[in-house]
Amino acid sequence: MNASGTGDQGRGTRGTRRETQDQGTRPDRRGEGTRRERRDAAVVPEAEFRSYYGRPIIKAPVWRYDIPAYLFTGGLAAGSALVAAGGDLTGRPALRRAGRLTTLAALSASTYFLINDLGRPERFHHMLRVAKPTSPMSVGSWILAAFGATAGPAAVSELAPLLPRRGPLGLVRRLAPSAGRVAGIGAAMIAPALATYTGVLLADTAVPSWHEAYPELPFIFAGSALASAAGAGLIAAPVEQTSPLRRLALAGAAIELAGAHSVETRLGLLSEPYTTGRAGRLLRAGRTLTALGVAGALLGRRSRVVSALSGAALLTASALTRFGIFAGGVRSAEDPKYTVGPQRNRLTGRENGRERR
Amino acid sequence: MGEQSPASAGYQQPPPRMGFFTDTSVCIGCKACEVACKEWNQVPDDGLNLLGMSFDNTGGLSANTWRHVAFIEQPRNGDTGSGMRWLMSSDVCKHCTRAACLDVCPTGALFRTEFGTVVVQEDICNGCGYCIPACPYGVIDQRRGDGRAWKCTLCYDRLKADLTPACAKACPTASIQYGPLEELRERAQARLEQLHEAGETSARLYGHDPDDGVGGAGAFFLLLDEPEVYGLPPDPVVTTRDLPAMWRRAGLAALTMAAAAVVAFLGRRP
Ligand code: SF4
């Protein structure tokens, strides 16, 4: 085995040339004494690549668990706003109520996660200083603000029955359902944007396995959002009203699984981070729970208990998927082979093309 | 040319675009640039590390390292001398013509100066961290304990006072050259030809081409080996190049999601 890593002082040359088998001995990122887990054999045969002492070329995101957690709660909020509007317009009050309250709870959690992840949380309002179409985070901040401005009032309108029947508050009580409906429809119209911009948020980076997955990420997140919202509804609403949720769970799962399958197989070397290690385990667990959740939702339509268990499976699956996609990207940023390999291939391809001409 | 370039960023009659040409063939690895940068910009230390990477105990660019000298020891092929060659190179923010960090910054903290450089406004940055994975070179980073993103400013304060950036000023061998970008590109081309004539065929320019994936770097290099040997990406592309396609896919996904919801609710009532 090629001598490299920390014990290799003074022999930098050999350390700059590195084969895949060699990676088990590579020191991890500076400051962390541990070695990265490398149990998984390379799935795709690779050419030898060169690097500077095996150090990453790009910086991995500094985002903590807050961001994948937000991906989940933001999707849940969006999906639940659709469930709420659907329930409202098709005369299923339990779905409307559950959808609106889940939206509000998930939206509050989202706001918390987003602010908590900032290096300077007290400056969160700087997000709305400018509107920049080149920054998916700026676009997302505005989407989230607009969503909050509609989903919030829709949820609050659910409190109307607590108001007195007479007097000025009685008037508010009578107007609340229509106001709630208008706000709820507004939220439902913004919801698909909220659920899908996050795919662009991750893809619009130099992180190799996120960037190249840009065609799939918004679909995975849209499907995952629908499935999770269906899951929340299955837990909260009586079975008589939940038939749309069962169809929604099926559709969401199908969209999500198709996207995930594509990401895991289409990207060559850049699929590897999604199928191996922590990301691979998270995504596999998510897929299993999604399948169980959908099966339970479709077969257990008469049982409140089975429905609720299926709902819990769908919610968990959605969270696992988000953490899995996140972990896969981080992994692809940490190893220079994912940055160098595809770029080298691109250069070689371009040179060959030039020669042929 | 400067007029149409995105690097001119709407300034009325800006000064010429300024940049760095780092000629690594004359770098002696003294790290004067690293030190001068730290001193002038009052950049905090990043700990005392022994990395076991030749004379490099800095590791790479970070929030607290805005110039980084890389050391590579290589066997010299077919040479009679010592049998070894040293590659030393002082890395820095590329001040890209199409800068991903600036594109994705949601607060407007990152901006384009009148000199065509890319600078973070520390009173605006809220530490969202988006610029960090967006940079194709892994330059900009979050400062622990501070929370905000930091990187080379190309000594914006010194430029405003008509002074040379600290690193270029301190470099004893003129490995780091500062000046109007156009002029630097000509100088680099001449130097490349000179080296090729002298038989140093491994010499190449990196980041000089305005048609590359980042529209050309404001800080470019003369290297003696492949970029990845120095820890540089061989073919960097600004991530926002694909952003229109990304938004189209998101739009399609959003429509699919809405349609799925409509279909689910329009289905037969139980
Ligand atoms: S090298 Fe990175 S930090 Fe510097 S301007 Fe380009 S994208 Fe921004």
Q: Is residue B38 domain-shared with residue B85, that is, in the same domain?
A: yes
Q: Is residue A213 part of a domain?
A: yes
Distance of CA B100 to the CA centre of its chain: 10
Nearest residue on chain B to A243, alpha-carbon basis: B270
A95-104, B8-17, B90-99, B116-125: least confidently modelled range: B8-17
pLDDT of residue B269: 54
Looking at the fold, whether B135 and B244 belong to one and the same domain comes out as no
Res A18 pLDDT > 50: no
pTM for this structure?
0.90
Which residue of B98, B101, B115, B131 sits with most ligand 1 atoms within 8 Å of its CB, as the best mutation to test the pocket?
B101
Closest atom of ligand 1 to B95 CA is: 5
CA torsion, ordered B255, B258, B259, B262, to nearest 10 deg:
-160
Q: To which residue do tokens 């662009």 refer?
A: A200
Specify whether B130 is located in the same domain as B200. yes
User: Which residue range forms the structural domain that includes residue B256?
Assistant: 240-270
Option in A12, A222, A347 nearest B235 (CB): A347
- Residues A98-117 have a mean pLDDT of 97
- Please tell me the predicted confidence (pLDDT) of residue B267: 76
What's the pLDDT band for A353 if we cut at 50, 70, 90? confident
| B248 and B206 within one domain | no
Instruction: Answer whether residue A322 is part of any domain.
Output: yes
Q: Which ipTM score applies to this complex?
A: 0.94
User: Does the pLDDT of residue A38 top 60, yes or no?
Assistant: no
Q: Rounded mean pLDDT of A164-178?
A: 92
The CATH number that applies at residue A268 is 1.20.1630.10
Domain-embedded: residue B144: yes
Cα(A343) to ligand 1 centroid in Å equals: 18
- What's the gap in Å between B208 CA and the centre of ligand 1? 15
Same domain (yes/no): B114, B81: yes
The answer to whether residue B7 sits within a structural domain is no
User: Which of B52, B232, B253 shows the shortest C-beta gap to A9?
Assistant: B52
Mean pLDDT score of chain B, rounded to an integer?
A: 93
Q: What is the mean pLDDT of residues A122-134?
A: 95
- CB atoms under 10 Å from CB of A328, counted, come to 29
Mean pLDDT of A241-255: 97
Give B158-214 as a DSSP string.
HHHTT---HHHHH-TTS-EEEEEHHHHHHHHHHHHHHHHHTT-TT-EEES--TTSTT
How confident is the model at residue A6, as a pLDDT?
35
**Residues B96 and B142 placed together within one structural domain of the fold:** yes
The pLDDT value recorded for residue B79 is 57
> Cα(B117)–Cα(B130) distance, rounded to whole angstroms?
19
The DSSP code for B239 is G
> Is residue A300 pLDDT above 70, yes or no?
yes
For residues B82-107, average pLDDT:
94
Which atom of ligand 1 is nearest the CA belonging to B151? 3
Decide if B5 is inside a domain.
no
For the Cβ of B88 lying below 6 angstroms from any atom of ligand 1, the answer is no
Specify the DSSP element, H or E, that contains B111: strand B110-112
Is there a domain that residue A26 lies in? no
pLDDT of residue A357: 58
Strand-pair partners of B62: B65
Task: Please check whether residue A349 lies inside any domain of the structure.
Answer: no
Tell me, what DSSP letter sits at residue B137?
T
Query: Is residue B91 classed as helix, strand or coil in its secondary structure?
Result: strand
Question: What confidence tier does B140 reach under pLDDT thresholds 50, 70, 90?
Answer: very high
Average pLDDT over every residue of A146-175? 94
**What's the confidence (pLDDT) of residue B113?**
96
Q: Are residues B220 and B254 in the same domain?
A: no
Structure tokens at A221: 């997140």
**Is the per-residue pLDDT at A15 higher than 60?**
no
CA distances from A39 to A36, A273, A324, B67, B133 (A): 9, 12, 18, 36, 26
Query: What pLDDT sits at residue A326?
Result: 98
Token duo for residue A51: 């690097």
Is the pLDDT at A91 greater than 70? The verdict is: yes
- B230 occurs within a structural domain: yes
Domain span including residue A151: 62-337
The pLDDT of residue A26: 39
Q: What is the mean pLDDT of chain A?
A: 88
Let me know if residue B10 belongs to a domain: no
When pLDDT is cut at 50, 70 and 90, the band that residue B102 belongs to is very high
Which residue, among B125, B105, B141, B131, has the nearest Cα to A139 in the 3D structure? B105
Domains identified in chain A, total number: 1
Which helix (DSSP H) or strand (DSSP E) does residue B244 occupy? helix B243-266
B249–chain A Cβ distance below 8 A for any pair: yes
Q: How confident is the model at residue A193 (pLDDT cuts 50, 70, 90)?
A: very high
Task: Specify the number of domains making up chain B.
Answer: 2
Distance from C-alpha of B214 to C-alpha of B218, rounded to nearest angstrom: 10
Nearest-CA distance B217 → chain A (Å): 16
- The DSSP result for A281-318, as a single string, is HHHHHHHHHHHHHHHHHHH-TT-HHHHHHHHHHHHHHH
